[in-house]
Amino acid sequence: MSANTIASVACIPMRLPFHHWSPPPLFAGRPRDKLDSALVRLETRDGAVAWGESYCVEPRALAAVFETLIAPLACGRQADDETLMPGLQRMLHNLGRSGPVVHALAGLDIALWDLRAKRAGVPLYALLGGKRRSRVRAYASLLQYYGDAGRLEAVTARALRDGYNEIKLHERTAEALACVRRAAGRGVPIMVDTNCAWLPGEANAAIAAMAPHDPCWIEEPLWPPEDHRALAALQRDCRIPLAVGENAGSAGELERLVDEAAVRYVQPSVIKLGLSAAWRISQRCAGGPVVCAPQVAFFGPGYLASLHLIAAQETEVALERLYVELAHVPYAEFAAVERGGVDVPDRPGLGADPEPALAQGRYSA
């Protein structure tokens, strides 16, 4: 076995307690006060360590996927084998083309990119063709406040004081958007994520009501999200750009949306689809009418991978940053949001490894 043989692959659930200056929002009908994902730690035979991140709703399920499927299949393989990831994807495809197995593979994929860049002694963006920008804009992505005008105004003002120049809401009403527009003023880009709020017959009227308040885009407007025909029809009828992607079950779904120019923005999540797929989608968008604007509702290695992707891709977009108060802020010294932007790290690989508190699993319960 060579030095580059994969010796271990481990899943470390990461649950970051947060507060968003309001009672906890609901997730799956229950109050939510922690943000979940999972670190993926890859080590090779010579002791090199690399990191990825997987989407994780149920830590026990994801840990079992890594223990019983991913680690046994990956260990003993060469980390630089270009057939490794495609082979695992094909081998495991009958377990589902979306969900925990695909999310686990996404985390492994990010770790392999981190390892390749570290081996080469270059920042990850160099493997993506080089950085086009050294600093990436960031927008404050507010969690849901259920239309509470007082809280929306207060949190918007707080985000602007913290240096953000762009805002995203997770709200569903024109009244909520109007409130934030008043608080932010004209000229501040405001995106609205409705989390699949409307059936196709309802969306036009709801979006028209928001139009006077100048939203930058409307995100995930339709239920079910995979109704691409209805989505394309809505974009044709709607003068406001639409953005979709975090609910995509596979990269193929987003590639078809790009090819058909069905929406104005696609939003691959690297911790669901992997960096390889997200970069492929970004490249597919280059020079066309659809813009790749990754979804980044997480804080670990996937956050850094998304930062490198945005730094390297053709079209400039802002990096999503969930606007919450975290019990622990990952990479606070290396990729903090300051003055409405993030400096792209120039260290090899992703630019930083998780802090000991995260790497040792202290935020796993």
Judge whether 45 lies within some domain.
yes
198/330 same-domain check: yes
108/153 same-domain check: no
155/69 same-domain check: no
Judge whether 262 lies within some domain.
yes
Picking from 99, 121, 143, the residue at the C-terminal end of a domain is 121
Give the separation between CA 187 and CA 164, rounded to whole angstroms. Answer: 13
285/336 same-domain check: yes
Judge whether 358 lies within some domain.
no
Picking from 73, 88, 121, the residue at the C-terminal end of a domain is 121
CATH code for position 197: 3.20.20.120
Tally of domains in the chain: 2
245/168 same-domain check: yes
pLDDT tens digits, the chain, 365 residues: what are they? 699 999 999 999 999 999 999 999 888 788 889 999 999 999 999 999 999 999 998 889 999 999 999 999 999 999 999 999 999 999 999 888 889 999 999 999 999 999 999 999 999 999 999 999 999 999 999 999 999 999 999 999 999 999 999 999 999 999 999 999 999 999 999 999 999 999 999 999 999 999 999 999 999 999 999 999 999 999 999 999 999 999 988 899 999 999 999 999 999 999 999 999 999 999 999 999 999 999 999 999 999 999 999 999 999 999 999 999 999 999 998 888 999 999 999 999 999 999 999 999 999 87
Judge whether 67 lies within some domain.
yes
Amino acid at 120: A
Give the separation between CA 68 and CA 60, rounded to whole angstroms. Answer: 12
Picking from 121, 142, 172, the residue at the C-terminal end of a domain is 121
9/69 same-domain check: yes
145/100 same-domain check: no
Judge whether 361 lies within some domain.
no
187/41 same-domain check: no
235/300 same-domain check: yes
Judge whether 220 lies within some domain.
yes
109/68 same-domain check: yes
Residue 252 · residue 266 · CB < 8 Å: no
Give the separation between CA 267 and CA 219, rounded to whole angstroms. Answer: 9
Determine the structural domain holding residue 101 and report its residue range.
5-121
Bridge pairing between strands 265-266 and 291-292? parallel
11/78 same-domain check: yes
Does the global pTM surpass 0.95? yes
210/163 same-domain check: yes
